[in-house]
Each structure stands twice: as C-alpha cells, then as structure tokens.
Amino acid sequence: MPFETITPPNRLYRQVADQLRHLFDAGEFAVGDRLPPERELAERMGISRPTIREALIALEVEGRVRIRVGSGIYVAEPPRSPAAPTTGEGPFELLRAREFIESAVAEEAARLAGPHDIAAIDEVLARMSDDAHPNQTIIAHDRDFHTAIAAILGNSVLVRVVGDLFDQRMTPFFTRLSSYFENSDSWRSALAEHRAVRDAIAEGNPARARAAMGDHLRKSQDRFSRSFSTPGVRQGVVSKEVAGAR
C-alpha cells in the first residue's frame, strides 16, 4: 500500500499518525519493522519533517512505535489497553506560534522596560542558572522569564496568552519529545539565548530584542528537529522496507 499525500488543513500530524497506524493494522509494517527515515516519509507524503516528527511522537505516546535514537523508528506491539489518540496542537505548531507572538512582545518590552523590569528578569535568570539540566523547577523558572517580559507591556491578556502557550508544553506529547533532545548542553544554549533577549531589552533596542527572541524560539525548534537516526545507518534495510510498503 503506497503512502498517500497529506493535504491540509486539519492537524497534519494527526493525519500522518492515522495513516501510519492504518498501515500497521493492515500488516504493511509488521511488529519490529523499522520505518523509513523521517526525511523519506516527509518526501513521500509531501509534508515537512517537523510534522512527521510530531506524528511519530504521538504514535510513541500511544505505544504504537518505539524510537531508538541512533537506530530508527520501529513498529511496536499494540498495547492491550490502547491510549487515546494524541490530540491538540503539536510541539512545532506551538513553538511557531510562540515565535510569532513573543518576538513582538519582546520588541515592545524593549521600548517600555525600566530598571525594576530588568531587575525582575535578572532575578529569574539567576534562578534559571542554578541547575545545568532542565527539570520541572527550571522549566517553571523558564515560564517566569517569558511571562516577566510580557508583564512589561502592562497587559494581563498578553501575560496570560504567553503563559498559556508555555503551559501547553506540559503534556505527555511535548514531554516525550523533550526527553530525547533536552540535556545539559541544550539547556546551556537556551540559557545563553535567554540572556541575549534580556540584554537587548535592557539596552532598549526593540529590533535586537525581537530578533533575539525569534532566534531563541527558532533554535528551540531546531533542537527538537535533529534526526533520531544516525545518517547512513542501515540504509539498505530501509530501502527494502520501503519497497515492500509500495
């Protein structure tokens, strides 16, 4: 059975997950089979690799695939008590929304920030620096950083929107994705990006603040986009699996 081209508009990652699950149930991929690489799936379905990534994570949360970093994605034995399908926005959709909204918020914050606002941001950054690895406490401080910037605008709706968008990462979906790619190195990079946003706001440079926030959230997306598989590993086996699925 060939893969079908995915068409918008409704939750592309959900359509991809549904199609893959159907292929599993139809026997096109047996338990233990390795799926084609994300890049190939994206090309054959005519969609982006982040959407494929979201679909695979959704299927892993449901127990339908196993992700082995450095090896690939494998079909799993269906669980006896299947989890409900993952719904809602995918991590990349959320991060893109945050990039759009929070870049504008940072730009305006640079125009309005006073010494007390910078002091509040510095206090949060100090707490964020206390641990070299992301954990629930550090993530809460991360949230405080972003809402502290929104608070500079004096608009409670914006504070709530920024906080609510951040809180949507507190799901099994986002947590599973984060578990593969967030570590001490990624946290140090993210912390440096936070400080760049702070410095631009403290300098009163709107363009630089907008760029720094956009850069931070784009790099967050990049960190979650790294391949699960080592390039070139077992490509011959993958080719056979793909041929068998046609």
pLDDT, one tens digit per residue, over 14-54 is 899 999 999 999 999 999 999 998 889 999 999 888 889 88
pTM of the model as a whole: 0.77
**CATH number of the domain encompassing residue 30:** 1.10.10.10
The answer to whether the beta carbons of residues 193 and 102 sit under 8 Å apart is no
Kindly state whether residues 96 and 199 are assigned to the same domain: yes
Q: Is 158 left (phi over 0), alpha (psi -120 to 50) or beta?
A: alpha
Kindly state whether residues 207 and 98 are assigned to the same domain: yes
6 in a domain, yes or no?
no
pLDDT at 239: 31
pLDDT tens column, 154-191: 999 999 999 999 998 888 888 888 888 788 888 899 99
Kindly state whether residues 153 and 184 are assigned to the same domain: yes
Kindly state whether residues 115 and 236 are assigned to the same domain: no
Range of the domain at 172: 91-224
